[in-house]
A and B are shown apart, each in its own frame.
Chain A
Amino acid sequence: MDLSTNYLGLKLRTPLVPSAGPLCEELDNIKKMEDAGASAVVLHSLFEEQLSLEAYELDRSLTQGTESFAEAQTYFPEMQSFRLGPEDYLEHISKAKESVGIPIIASLNGVSDGGWIDYSKKIQEAGADALELNIYYIPTDMEMTGEQVEDKYISILKAVKEVVNIPVAVKLSPFFSNIANMAGKLDRAGANALVLFNRFYQPEINLEELEVEHNVLLSTPQARRLPMRWIAILYGKVEADLAATSGIHTGKDALKMLMVGSKVTMLCSVLLKQGIDKMKEIETEIVEWLEEHEYESVEQLQGSLSQKKCPEPSAYERAQYMKILKTFHIA
């Protein structure tokens, strides 16, 4: 069975790609992913904000209490330099490239304009095959308009595209007034792929402690529906490749995402919960289904149930809501 797909200009053996997540922080896991059939790997994100915080924290710790007391003018050895920049991440890219044969897609979350540009260049230099921009921004300023938010995304993308020549994907959130319009803008600004969707961690309440907590909630299969709809809608309308992420836990989930038009299907929660080897099962399930249904390749089904090609395009639009309700009523 020909499972191959093209994503970001890369010819991939299958559409199964582990998405940015904690598993990719360990080189051993990346090797295991390759062994389990991953066709590419998106590394965990390099967070500029975290690097800044680490630098601030180190500086604070090293200067705290110093030059205050005759006997203890400092509390730590006078070390000359620390790896506070992206060195570890860049080294990780290089090591990953040396260790596996599949493409390595780096992921970046910047804060400052300088950070996006500088780190993108360094990521390219470190040997990444492509770069995924993990842009997220939760606008809470009541004075900030939707257009300003959108412009921020576009300007980051343009700035990065100017300084790198590896393919660039943008991972998007679903929280735009008109995702189709936003996708179009990004497409025109040069995005080589759009990854739908970034799943924000939502805060939780601890009733006993009266505190707001941030704990990771892994995706469920239900999460798949939202990106599936938008990939279906966008398929054929943007030049950029579409990648599906969120809620893909089985081979059938992946098949559905491919059918609406995604070039790759990204996996994270399922690997965290069930282990990296789960990828083998998913691939087998895909192959079996394709064979059972007499498909020749993945390419053959990609986009077949997109809005453009499906028998009932309006199903992806608002009317569908009414229909569901109706069905529910009758039932």
Chain B
Amino acid sequence: MGTKTFTTIDGNEAVAYTAYRLNEVIAIYPITPSSNMGEWCDQWTSEGKRNIWGTIPSVTEMQSEGGAAGAVHGSVQAGALTNTFTASQGLLLKIPNMFKIAGELTPTVFHISARTIATHALSIFGDHSDVMAARSTGFAMLSSGSVQEAMDFALIAQASTLKSRVPFLHFFEGFRISHEVSKIELISEDQMREVIDDRLVEEHRLRAMTPDRPVLRGSSQNPDVFFQARETVNKHYQECPDITQRVMDRFAEVTGRSYKLFEYEGAPDAERVLVIMGSGGETALETVDFLTNQGEKVGVLKVRLYRPFDIKRFIEALPATTKSIAVLDRTKEPGAGGEPLYLDCVSALNEGLENGWGALKSMPKIVGGRYGLSSKEFTPAMVKAVFDNLAADKPKNHFTIGIEDDVTQTSLEYDPEFSTEGEDVIRAMFYGLGADGTVGANKNSIKIIGEGTDNYAQGYFVYDSKKSGSMTVSHLRFGPRPIRSIYLVSKANFVACHQPVFLERFDMIKNLVPGGTFLLNTPFGPDEVFAKLPRKTQEALIKKKAKFYIIDATKVARESGMGGRINTTMQACFFALAGILPKDKAIDAIKDSIRKTYGGKGEEIVNKNITAVDNALTNMFEVKVPDEPIGDVEMLPPVLPEAPEFVRNVLGKIVGAEGDSLPVSAFPNDGTFPIGTTQYEKRNLALEIPVWDENTCIQCLKCVVVCPHASIRAKVYDPKHLEGAPETFKSKDSRVPSFKGMKFTLQVAPEDCTGCYMCVDACPAKNKSEPKLRAINMEPQPPLRAQERENWKFFLSIPEMDRTKVNATRIREQQIMQPLFEFSGACPGCGETPYVKLMSQLFGDRAIIANATGCSSIYGGNLPTTPWAPNKDGRGPTWSNSLFEDNAEFGFGFRLAIDKQKEIAESLLEKLAPQVGDELVKSILEARQVTEEEINGQRERVAALKDKLKQLDSPEAKRLTGIADYLVKKSVWILGGDGWAYDIGYGGLDHVLASGKDVNVLVLDTEVYSNTGGQMSKATPRSAIAKFAAGGKPLSKKDLGMMAMTYSNVYVASVAMGAKDEQTLKAFVEAEAYPGPSIIIAYSHCIAHGINMSVGMRQHKIAVDSGQWLLYRFNPELVAQGKNPLQLDSPAPKIPVKEYLQSENRFRMLLKSKPEDAKKLFESAQEDVEERYKLYTYLAARAMNGEGKEQEKTESTAKTG
């Protein structure tokens, strides 16, 4: 054993660190929470880091996890040391290959940041449901319970798979371990070499397929032999536990850290034992230590190697005194006799006792329970409740812990006040805003303390479900011993509120211990601040005799050149108050850390951060907490009081960060939720909101079309509706000729606007006397909030315009249509949501939406509230998300079902014609349903039909009543990002486009996997830096539109709203009207492009002006008119591509990191553009006959061609 080296990293990096050094080929695909492992490996490859044998591993992103598994299978068969990372649905996609890999006894390790499998809902958080779904594959399953174990077991798994030839699935809980930052001991490369036996690597290579030693592997077998052949592997599984334990023992010799396959800890004479796997084992152990110190006879058995399940070792690990056992499973198998670990333990006890193994003399009581699904907290209080249950005469079996099940009464009660936290551990909580850098600063603090002192450190970070204005809560612990508390801090010595606005919404003092310290960022001074706090906060501070400090960090940060990033300022205050390090030493450490962290970004950035630190301490003040509360500030309700009951009582609790308190009965049993609920969650994110200057406005509605959050809207209405308008409500005569005599109003939803500025940037009208002002201008929100809240309410009360009177192909008219997608949690300035909103305005009242997993499914469907909304008639988009990979097929299924029900309805209608009336039947069956007017007419006819059916008493009439609405056109929309359309879902998308069915596909093309943090897709353009393309993407973007056009019967459009909004509008209208498959590929600027999001629409224009993005529409219906179906809507490129590339950080980064590569790739990008434009120009210029064939070249066509 050499010198110990400590580092402070998260679980993902810890695993990647080991896996990268032990492999030669790594196949990856992004999926939360495992993506970071692949990202690290890709980055290390681009930096030229080598593995322990001196080669730079080849890291390749595939089109799906299924693809990655296939590549791994091929690579291990061909003799390379190969691994992959994944989680959840990704693991499910790998399962077919896993059976093969295991069946062929091929060594590999799959590292899994275990995550919930989507059922009634998707969840990105951690439990064992994914790995349990893979337990029959034949992979060995090794479970890590801490960041240290995650690093260590990555090595143990690798050494064990090489020896046993059983492939390993190494798993650790997503987020709780994958994202926990912890101080751990690093494994050196020398130590790795000591644990890995190179002879086994050679043996692996010798088994490889090679034409130099040809074999056949992967045959097809029949009933006569398959069974016997399948049993040949048994020996390897029998030996695998011994091998793994030997590797663990060798690992202990090399590193000093000792592990057992089944590790019992606690009282040697324990009567009650808890069996558990994963990070819960650490919490259980902390509780067991606490309880045994109080004389309780309890213990915990941690399961490390779950498959192959070593029955003998399991039973031998149990104390002879064991009377009762609780087995905890972090998964749910509805309908099973018990969860898998429980069933394994029951069967193991039976078999073990039968064989006389271990010290137990008789069968103990054994019960099983579920805990921690989707990262539900698992605390010492819950562990104690499980032990308490075991002490009962008849312990509850099949219980749940951590929730209140008031429906089937499975839950155990627990005392949330029970705590085992050590007195010598400093616990701190920080409430920050996503954009303020709080989490980054806290990660930095952990590093400073973890690596600069003897203290152990732990950090875990909780985010909310919104991408804009999200709250982050950092949970930090520092102490002299390794920290086993793998659960959130609930008894903090230090609480900091980095954003004063959160004080009104969340009770953060509830977690402060008596006598603890509260630090608040506030614009108020020490003499006035207390009265500005909500009374609840004041009372808590008084009761807890808290020490209270304030700083105007926003001002300090601004004056230090940090803008809104208050992170380093607050960090300096924390160190000054927490007393973990002497103040001067702490400040020096922060500055050193700043130099390390920001050094690569230039001296300027370092200096401004250092200035922020220096300015922090002189601006922090202690506030004397008075004896009595002052003033009358109250906490704000989480949702509007007028919200429906379900929104108030259920969704409101989630909004108020109290979702954990909701019982089972609060929820629907099939994942169905009401729509239109974001309107009740007033988030008041905008510091400034747009204010309308009605005299400058030209009523073009460009502001409305670009608004990502539907919070600036227009209405045209009869002047009589102005009666009773608030005094400050503005209106103007409509400028649209067909709306002559009507009034026009542009209104902002002040509490829903995110203040992104895109509307102002889109406004083309300038004040003639002062052109810096436009027809809308940003002004501070707080003074306008009350007034505009009233105006917004009045605006909503004005009736919507009759949709049949609106010209849906002109932005200035179409944009008065009501959006049925509003106030989403997308990023401020999002480039996707304007398209989604446009679709909802045009077709929302008849739309059924299949949404691929990704940004759009998160801002569209993440609890608590949804932006999809109904209109006044109760009609609106109905929305669902199936998976990432199957979205086209999912939407296609919608079409099939709708068409079938329409067909049945038509057939019934024909049968009932004599009773209903031939004329009505004929008019319904022959109705054209393309325009709003036509669809409205059909709705009226179907309403008349239903009236008539009411009078009929026949089974057919009843059946038709139930499905008559299908006689009105339904619009099927298949939404998703480029990761879905270009990569993982492409096969399905291609098939659906080829089906000829009437579906509309909207590809929100951000050119990266945005939702998982910007990984490269096949839509990523050449030379862009993205995750998994840290060296810049060397290849050009796939031309999805061109591929779709080859079918000739698919409507295809490529649009960029910020370049030509009316072309976008036309494309949407044409695509929906087209009676076959349609696909719209929409350029969507994104935070992952490294642009200023408030002017994101400008990027559309530069992209089109440079030819990087083409605008076109390919409408097969034009063929019948003898026209070329392809209409190129882009002019010839006006500016060099370089100008576009240099305007976005994703390309500029390459210039600043690898200028030579950038130069070459930029040149290639220019060639791409020129070639592509030439090709499209040629295709668009071809003269076509009425059958869509190119005409013989005449003199004139030859010229244009």
Contacts and interface: CB of A to CB of B under 8 A. Distances in A.
Asked if A and B bind, the verdict is yes
Interface of A: 51-52, 54-85, 88, 210-211
B1013 A83 contact: no
Considering the complex of A and B, which 3 residue pairs feature the smallest CB-CB distances, nearest first?
A: A68-B434, A55-B602, A81-B600
B1006 to A, nearest CB: 10
B1092 to A, nearest CB: 8
Nearest to A115: B603
Interface in B930-968: none
A62 B604 contact: no
B490 interface: no
A298 B1092 CA distance: 55
Interface string B459-472: 00101001100101
B1025 A77 contact: yes
Nearest to A51: B602
Contact of B827 (A56, A59, A65, A71): A65
Contact of A67 (B47, B434, B1090, B1149): B434
A63 B563 CA distance: 12
A79 B602 contact: no
Contact of B434 (A59, A62, A65): A65
B487 to A, nearest CB: 17
Nearest to A211: B771
A67 B472 contact: yes
A68 to B, nearest CB: 2
22 contacts: A52-B602, A55-B602, A56-B604, A57-B1145, A62-B1145, A64-B435, A64-B1090, A66-B440, A67-B472, A69-B434, A69-B463, A70-B32, A70-B125, A72-B1011, A74-B1014, A75-B1013, A75-B1087, A76-B1090, A76-B1149, A77-B1027, A79-B1025, A81-B600
Contacts of B472: 67-68
Interface string B1149-1163: 100110100000000
A234 B983 CA distance: 70
A78 to B, nearest CB: 6
B379 to A, nearest CB: 20
A36 to B, nearest CB: 24
Given A65-B467, A85-B602, 19 more contacts: A51-B602, A54-B602, A55-B602, A55-B605, A58-B601, A63-B565, A67-B438, A67-B439, A69-B466, A70-B33, A71-B858, A71-B1013, A72-B1011, A74-B1014, A75-B1088, A77-B43, A79-B600, A82-B602, A85-B603
B1012 interface: yes
A54 B1025 contact: no
A207 to B, nearest CB: 11
Given A59-B601, A67-B437, A84-B601, A79 B1153 contact: yes
Given A57-B1145, A63-B565, A85-B603, A73 B1013 contact: yes
A162 to B, nearest CB: 21
A67 B467 contact: no
B1087 A54 contact: no
Contacts of B1012: 71-72
B1014 A76 contact: yes
A76 B1029 CA distance: 10
B1086 to A, nearest CB: 8
B440 A67 contact: yes
A62 B1025 CA distance: 12
A80 B1012 CA distance: 21
Nearest to A48: B604
A85 B604 CA distance: 10
B998 interface: no
Nearest to B1144: A61
A61 B1143 CA distance: 11
B1027 A76 contact: yes
A101 B179 CA distance: 57
B599 A81 contact: yes
Interface in B446-468: 461, 463, 466-467
B32 A75 contact: no
Contact of A84 (B602, B1030, B1092): B602
A76 B1146 contact: yes
Contact of B1093 (A52, A63, A64, A74): A64
Nearest to B32: A71
Given A63-B565, A71-B124, A58 B1013 contact: no
B1149 A72 contact: no
Contacts of B1145: 57-58, 61-62, 76
B1148 interface: yes
B42 interface: yes
Nearest to A88: B1155
A83 B1012 CA distance: 28
B1010 interface: yes
Contacts of A81: 599-600, 1153
Contacts of B1146: 76
Interface string B427-439: 0000001110111
Max count, chain B CB within 10 A of own CB: residue among A62, A74, A79, A210: A79
A83 B1093 contact: no
A211 B505 CA distance: 43
A72 B854 CA distance: 11
Contact of B39 (A51, A70, A77, A83): A77
B435 A68 contact: yes
B598 to A, nearest CB: 7
Contact of B605 (A56, A64, A69, A78): A56
Contacts of A66: 440
A73 B438 CA distance: 12
Contact of A75 (B438, B461, B605, B1090): B1090
Contacts of B1011: 71-72
Nearest to A210: B771
Interface in B899-947: none
A65 B440 CA distance: 12
A185 to B, nearest CB: 31
Interface string B857-875: 0100000000000000000
Contacts of B768: 210
A59 B435 contact: no
A77 to B, nearest CB: 4
Contacts of B602: 51-52, 54-55, 58-59, 82, 84-85
Contacts of A77: 39, 42-43, 46, 1025-1027, 1030
B1091 interface: yes
A81 B606 CA distance: 13
A70 B32 CA distance: 9
B376 interface: no
B766 interface: yes
Interface string B1001-1013: 0000000001111
B565 to A, nearest CB: 7
Interface in B25-60: 32-33, 39, 42-43, 46-47
A78 B1027 CA distance: 9
Contacts of B565: 63
Interface string B117-155: 000000011000000000000000000000000000000
Contact of A55 (B433, B601, B1155): B601
A206 to B, nearest CB: 10
B175 interface: yes
A58 B1027 contact: no
Contact of A58 (B125, B603, B827, B1152): B1152
A41 B369 CA distance: 80
Contacts of A64: 435, 1087, 1090, 1093
A76 B601 contact: no
Contacts of B466: 69
A58 B1026 CA distance: 15
A69 B125 CA distance: 13
B1153 A82 contact: yes
Contacts of B563: 60
A76 B438 contact: no
A81 B601 CA distance: 6
A163 B32 CA distance: 54
Max count, chain B CB within 10 A of own CB: residue among A57, A74, A77, A80: A77
